Amino acid sequence: MTNITDRVLATIDTLTDEAVAFTSDLIRMPTVNPPGELYEECARFIGEMLARCRFEVEYYAAEGRPEHTSAHPRLNVIGTRRGQSMHPLVHLNGHFDVVPAGGGWTVDPFGGEVRDGKIWGRGSCDMKAGIAAAVFAAEAIRRAGIALTGSVEISGTVDEESGGFAGVAWLAHHGRLSAARTDFAIIPEPLYVDRICIGHRGVYWFEVLTRGRIAHGSMPFHGVNAVEHMGMLLERIRHDLQPRLAARTTEVPVIPPGARHATLNINGINGGQPVGGIQTPCVADHCRTVFDRRFLLEEGFDATRTEIIALLDEVARDVPDFSYELRDLMVVHPTRTPDGSPVVAALDRALRRVLGRSGGLVASPGTYDQKHFARIAGVHHCVAYGPGILDLAHQPDEYVDIADLMNATKVIALALLDLTATA
Ligand SMILES: [Zn+2]
């Protein structure tokens, strides 16, 4: 095994230029989501690379999804390289959509520039370098002339940044990702090159509408102001709910430490007449607020929602004429890789071999496609491990260190050897 390990690691040392060039090429395709630009081109580009690396390549358009349109087709790509048997099968999945560049860049966000030992651009760390690490990890094993007993799949999927419904969720719903086929999954998201990410918190997005009664603005006492009522609700949240949430801490190793607690963000608010246009004197008769509540594995969704309703009912008891409607917008349940998972053990061993250390387990403050692997496909032995610094994701001047890229490639390659076992 040591001999094989050394051969693979030495091969990866010869692949740096190719891995960097592939990452840069991917960055130069602005696969911006929304709306989902250049997905088809990017899927085919990844597919051609997989074919050159002797994968059998299949394409899956997300038929039936409303966001799969002729203007913005949702095309996913999967490459399969069969070993002596189909199992164990390790699936490496990367999303190739990126968030919009936004302002504040000092480099071309879609230039794929290579400078100072880094690859720059939108999607460099989140997560086109991760896709390159997956491809070149598998390619290094092939070039080292090693035959695996089990099989490897690599997918490039769409829309992770907007929920992954036309990407990993679609493939899972249509049986292409399933517990029967897929034994282990690694998602090379940027969660630090020495850490293994075992899941994420839950998400509950909801909208609260307060209803008032319109009246002349010169005689507000004749009406009920829905914006004022929303203000009272927000005040109650700040005073009563926020401290309770902050006092709750999960056992799951969520990073950064602030995200170990339950959180609530006010995402947007509007009420009364649209501000900026011509106004007429009226008491605001409605106000809507969208909330983003991140809940802990230990809290669970039912208790999270019940707590919100209890708070709303409390305000309704205390404030005359307070009337509200609650609408659920999105629920993502927390996900956690099972204790003792072989995929965690394999990555941990690989980290110690490649970096001489393992930074241990972390969990993501947000969510990513692991939820679909676990909850729809039933693939529970799934983690995120990949190159890049989480904090740089979605920021201006995003970059990935080439050293991180190549180290992650080595770690993934050794985990592949370990999990599929060599012949
Ligand atoms: Zn990502």
Do 423 and 11 contact (CB within 8 A), yes or no? Answer: no
Cα(339) to centroid of ligand 1, in Å? Answer: 24
Cα(187) to centroid of ligand 1, in Å? Answer: 9
Cα(191) to centroid of ligand 1, in Å? Answer: 9
pLDDT at 99: 96
**Exposed, middle or buried: residue 396 (CB in 10 Å: 0-12, 13-18, 19+)?**
middle
pLDDT at 1: 59
Contacts of 286 (CB under 8 A, 6+ apart): 209, 210, 211, 212, 226, 271, 272
Contacts of 203 (CB under 8 A, 6+ apart): 292, 293, 294, 295, 330, 331, 332, 367
Q: Collect the ranges in the chain with pLDDT lower than 70.
A: 1, 422-423
Cα(183) to centroid of ligand 1, in Å? Answer: 22
Q: Which of 153, 210, 156, 161 is nearest to 185 (CA)?
A: 153
Cα(189) to centroid of ligand 1, in Å? Answer: 5
Task: Tell me the pTM.
Answer: 0.91
Cα(98) to centroid of ligand 1, in Å? Answer: 8
What backbone phi and psi angles, to 5 degrees, belong to 323? Answer: -135, 135
What 3-state class would DSSP assign to 213? Answer: strand
Cα(42) to centroid of ligand 1, in Å? Answer: 16
Cα(359) to centroid of ligand 1, in Å? Answer: 20
Distance, in Å, from the CA atom of 371 to the CA atom of 185, rounded to the nearest integer, reads 12
Cα(132) to centroid of ligand 1, in Å? Answer: 14
pLDDT at 421: 84
Cα(165) to centroid of ligand 1, in Å? Answer: 14
Cα(63) to centroid of ligand 1, in Å? Answer: 23
- Cα 41 to chain centroid distance, Å, stands at 22
Cα(5) to centroid of ligand 1, in Å? Answer: 29
Cα(181) to centroid of ligand 1, in Å? Answer: 24
Cα(97) to centroid of ligand 1, in Å? Answer: 8
Distance, in Å, from the CA atom of 92 to the CA atom of 12, rounded to the nearest integer, reads 17
Cα(161) to centroid of ligand 1, in Å? Answer: 7
Cα(163) to centroid of ligand 1, in Å? Answer: 11
pLDDT at 190: 95
* pLDDT tens per residue, range 225-284: 999 999 999 999 999 999 999 999 999 999 999 999 999 999 999 999 999 889 999 999
Cα(126) to centroid of ligand 1, in Å? Answer: 5
Cα(127) to centroid of ligand 1, in Å? Answer: 5
